[in-house]
Amino acid sequence: MSTPAVSILLPFHDAEPTLAAALDSCLAQEFADFELLAVDDGSRDGSTAIAAAYAARDGRVRVLRPGRLGLVGALNHGLSAARAALVARMDADDVMYPQRLQRQCAFMAANPQVGLCGCQVRLVPEERIEAGFREYIRWQNACLTPAQMAQEIYWESPIAHPSFMFRRAIISELGGYRHGDFPEDYELLLRLHGAGVALAKLPEVLLDWSDSPGRATRTDPRYARRAFDHLRAEHLARDPRLHGRPLVVWGAGRKTRRRVNLLLDRGFAPTAWIDIDPAKIGKVIRGAPVHPPGWLACKPRPFVLMYVTAHGARDTSGSQLAALGYRAGHDYLMVG
């Protein structure tokens, strides 16, 4: 068998209602030089038979049956079996557009410095999307270039996992997906960023991303707010941008301080806190005073971590910093 250009990595577990549509969208790709690794993660419904039927009809489909490993184990099992230099992720309840592989392969060929690229996504079904998630997709779809990824990486996960296409050698060298009390996709992006690997996204919607009630982001404790906070703090502590300059934290509320403490307990000490609440100005938190935003006109310019979670407040605060000459990713980072 010749080596394919792309290995599509699609783990599934009890996905009978949606698996056929996902597989159909893979096989309908305009770019045909791929293998499809359907990793059966211990399914108990009819999805195993569905995958087997597709494999019988199309030799590009390979069904792997390692038993129940969980998502991370299934992903790593599929990676170990992949033959292509490029791996495209796919979920069993999503649908990729016919141009997806072609567009991403062309982008990766033209941008050898990029280790992982995604694409813009459409969240479905649209009638069930809540305002917060709609705003998250708007933000995510606007985060495109390696520079934007480096600026926004600590706000939220900037690329939808089933839209990933990555260079298999890089992921393997970094140890594949990791087990832990954290979201495996976001952890991988943070690890890639920390290793200096460029991330990017195609400015085109090429995937329908399903927001089902049972999806892991809604039900798995690894996707709880606290898990994200711990993961961000761990990687922020290693980010070289936080070292060598005075550190200032924007946000002095009680909830913010609980999140910031996860970083400060790793040996960091802010020289000041920033808040817009007049009642907080002048207070001292962990030995550092609370100042209004205008204080940031000081010299030398500190490095600011902006712990502002609301999208509207985030944009306003970012505009205030820009007016003072602060550059995103160079002088400050937004932290979700």
Q: Spell out the per-residue pLDDT of the chain, length 336, in tens.
A: 699 999 999 999 999 999 999 999 999 999 999 999 999 999 999 999 999 999 999 999 999 999 999 999 999 999 999 999 999 999 999 999 999 999 999 999 999 999 999 999 999 988 777 888 899 999 999 999 999 999 999 999 999 999 999 999 999 999 999 999 999 999 999 999 999 999 999 999 999 999 876 666 656 777 788 999 999 999 999 999 999 999 999 999 999 999 999 999 999 999 999 999 999 999 999 999 999 999 999 999 999 999 988 777 888 999 999 999 999 999 999 999
Closest by CA position to 51, among listed 83, 90, 92: 92
Q: How many CB atoms lie within 10 A of CB 58?
A: 12
Residue 298: its pLDDT value, please? 94
Residue 218: its pLDDT value, please? 57
Q: Give the pTM.
A: 0.95
Residue 304: its pLDDT value, please? 98
Mark 94-126 as b/e (b = at least 16 C-beta within 10 Å).
bbbbebbbbbbbebbeeeeebbbbbbbbebbee
For the record, the structure tokens of 269 come out as 């000490």
Question: In terms of DSSP bridges, do strands 303-306 and 6-12 run parallel, antiparallel, or are they unpaired?
Answer: unpaired
For the record, the structure tokens of 82 come out as 């992949």
What is the signed CA dihedral for 234, 168, 107, 5, rounded to 10 degrees?
-160
- How far is it, in rounded angstroms, from Cα 67 to Cα 69? 6
Residue 213: its pLDDT value, please? 66
Residue 131: its pLDDT value, please? 84
Helix axes 47-57, 19-27, angle to 10 degrees: 20
Beta strands in the chain (DSSP E): 6-12, 34-40, 61-64, 86-89, 95-96, 114-124, 165-167, 198-210, 247-250, 272-274, 284-285, 288-291, 303-306, 332-334
- Are 107 and 114 a contacting pair, CB within 8 Å? yes
Residue 308: its pLDDT value, please? 86
Residue 219: its pLDDT value, please? 63
Strand order from edge to edge, sheet including 34-40 = 61-64, 34-40, 6-12, 86-89, 165-167, 114-124, 198-210, 95-96
Mark 158-174 as b/e (b = at least 16 C-beta within 10 Å).
bbbbbbbbbbbeebeeb
